[in-house]
């Protein structure tokens, strides 16, 4: 086994959070006096733009030129996004969202095997803290050697910045790591950083193209650390047949 670290995406991977994000966006639009409503079908499309601020800006430019043309667009978007993050955190803190199937077991198996854990996400730090605190306990941050998020890695997926920075800070070579993602943007970011990737798809991403993934699962419910190590070793054997 040559695996040293597992790097988790957050939204859609650790937990099925995008419906909570969608509701939070709509509540923030209402608070801001904006007649914008993102239904499920539209949100599935808008998820192609990673990062909440980027998503709001993209939507405004395409759908509300009046809003987009006013001066100070960046700060107005930041205010709407701040409200959205407050609504998101409030919903998570109400206990509405638990970890997806198999995630907790996989984290515990990886810790027991002495692997390092990391997070590489485009979401905001407050969102990660709320989700992990309520699901993994107040000391959740101690269990992850590295957390790369919208603040530390502002260039969002599919750009590999968060993954490049994660492996750098982990001190692991890319081929000693495994990424777990839910989306095409996340897969492309991890592959661009040279990291083998497992997909745990969900209703917001099950139409995405996952070419290049080691495996695609509906969830991690039946996926053990041994499964992942076997897949990783198989990949290595194919890449360098004699080195396995």
Instruction: Tell me the C-alpha distance between 196 and 219, whole Å.
Output: 17
Q: Which does 205 bind (CB under 5 to 8 A by kind): Mg ion, ligand XBP, none?
A: none
Q: Which does 202 bind (CB under 5 to 8 A by kind): ligand XBP, Mg ion, none?
A: none
Residue numbers 9-28 binding Mg ion by CB under 5 A? 9, 11-12
Which residues share a beta bridge with 200? Answer: 217
Active site residues: 9, 11
- For residue 145, what are the contacts with CB-CB under 8 A and spacing of at least 6? 5, 116, 117, 118, 169, 170
CA distances from 90 to 12, 149, 188 (A): 18, 20, 31
The residue within the footprint of ligand XBP, chosen from 26, 50, 91, 188 (CB under 6 A), is: 50
Question: Look-up: residue for tokens 């993994």?
Answer: 136
Tell me how far, at minimum, the Cβ of 214 lies from ligand XBP, in Å.
Answer: 18
Binding track over 137-156 against ligand XBP, x by CB under 6 A: -------------x------
The residue within the footprint of ligand XBP, chosen from 3, 5, 6, 10 (CB under 6 A), is: 10
- For residue 52, what are the contacts with CB-CB under 8 A and spacing of at least 6? 21, 25, 81, 84, 85, 123, 124, 150
Q: Which does 184 bind (CB under 5 to 8 A by kind): ligand XBP, Mg ion, none?
A: none
Looking at beta carbons, which residue is closest to ligand XBP? Answer: 52
Instruction: Identify which of 186, 123, 180, 181 has the alpha carbon closest to the alpha carbon of residue 151.
Output: 123
16 binds ligand XBP (CB under 6 A): no
User: Is 5 or 199 the residue whose CB approaches ligand XBP more closely?
Assistant: 199
Binding track over 168-187 against ligand XBP, x by CB under 6 A: ---------------x--x-
Binding track over 55-84 against ligand XBP, x by CB under 6 A: ------------------------------
The residue within the footprint of ligand XBP, chosen from 124, 188, 197, 200 (CB under 6 A), is: 124
Instruction: Tell me the C-alpha distance between 88 and 120, whole Å.
Output: 19
Residues making contact with ligand XBP (CB under 6 A): 9-12, 18, 21, 50-52, 121-124, 127, 150, 157, 183, 186
Residues making contact with Mg ion (CB under 5 A): 9, 11-12, 182-183
């Amino acid at each position: 086994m040559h695996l040293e670290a597992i790097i988790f995406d957050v939204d859609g991977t650790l937990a099925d959070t995008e419906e909570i994000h969608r509701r939070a966006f709509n509540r923030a639009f209402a608070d801001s006096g904006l007649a914008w409503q993102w239904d499920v079908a539209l949100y599935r499309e808008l998820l192609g733009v990673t990062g909440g601020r980027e998503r709001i800006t993209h939507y405004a430019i395409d759908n509300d030129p009046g809003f987009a043309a006013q001066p100070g667009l960046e700060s107005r978007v930041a205010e709407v996004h701040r409200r959205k993050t407050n609504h998101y955190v409030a919903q998570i803190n109400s206990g509405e969202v638990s970890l997806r199937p198999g995630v907790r077991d996989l984290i515990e198996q990886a810790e027991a095997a002495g692997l390092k854990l990391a997070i590489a996400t485009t979401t905001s730090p407050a969102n990660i803290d709320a989700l992990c605190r309520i699901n993994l306990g107040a000391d959740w941050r101690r269990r992850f050697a590295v957390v790369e998020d919208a603040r530390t890695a502002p260039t969002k997926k599919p750009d590999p910045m968060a993954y490049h920075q994660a492996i750098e800070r982990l001190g692991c070579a890319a081929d000693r790591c495994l990424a777990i993602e839910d989306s095409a943007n996340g897969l492309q970011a991890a592959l661009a950083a040279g990291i083998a990737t497992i997909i745990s798809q969900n209703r917001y991403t099950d139409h995405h193209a996952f070419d290049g993934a080691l495996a695609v699962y509906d969830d991690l419910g039946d996926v053990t650390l041994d499964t992942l190590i076997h897949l990783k070793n198989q990949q290595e054997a194919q890449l360098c047949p004699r080195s396995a």
